[in-house]
Amino acid sequence: MPLLERDGLGVVDQSLGHPDLPIYRVSITFLWGHLKSLVYAPPVDSDEDLFARISVAAARVRELPGIFESVRQSLHRRCQACIAVGGRNFEQLL
């Protein structure tokens, strides 16, 4: 279940997945980080402004060609690397 947390900048962030699942979190972190960069680039002035920016940013991310397939492939590669080393550190293999 998603949890709302404050990140280092005081921005409300959504924490997805369990902290013991770093492979899953990498994909979610990439998408959420990109969305946040689009939404919070200039300071947000109001709730309405925030809502509008989130809607526009989500549409922009959705329109990126192959973004979700790329994330799926990256997650698959990470899972395979993790399995290959028996759950130990595998980042150097990617």
Which tens digits make up the pLDDT trace of 18-41? 555 555 566 666 777 778 888 888
What is the per-residue pLDDT for 80?
Answer: 84
Tell me, yes or no, whether 58 and 70 share the same domain. no
Alpha-helical runs (H) found in the chain: 22-39, 47-63, 67-84
Query: Per the domain annotation, does 7 fall within a domain?
Result: no
Structural domain count, the chain: 2
Write the CB contacts of 27 (distance below 8 Å, at least 6 apart in sequence): 71, 74, 75
Query: Count of residues for the chain?
Result: 94
Closest alpha carbon to 60 in 44, 43, 36: 36
Domain contains 8: no
The whole-model pTM stands at 0.48
The 3-state DSSP class for residue 5 equals: strand
Q: In the structure, what pLDDT confidence band is assigned to residue 85 with cuts at 50, 70 and 90? A: confident
Q: pLDDT band at 2, cuts 50/70/90? A: very low
pLDDT of residue 4: 46
The answer to whether residue 26 sits within a structural domain is no
Query: What's the domain range around 82?
Result: 66-93
19 falls within a domain: no
Report if residue 22 sits inside a domain.
no
Same-domain check for residues 59 and 70: no
Q: Which residue has the higher pLDDT, 71 or 24?
A: 71
The answer to whether position 44 is within a domain reads yes
Instruction: State the amino acid at position 15 in one-letter form.
Output: S
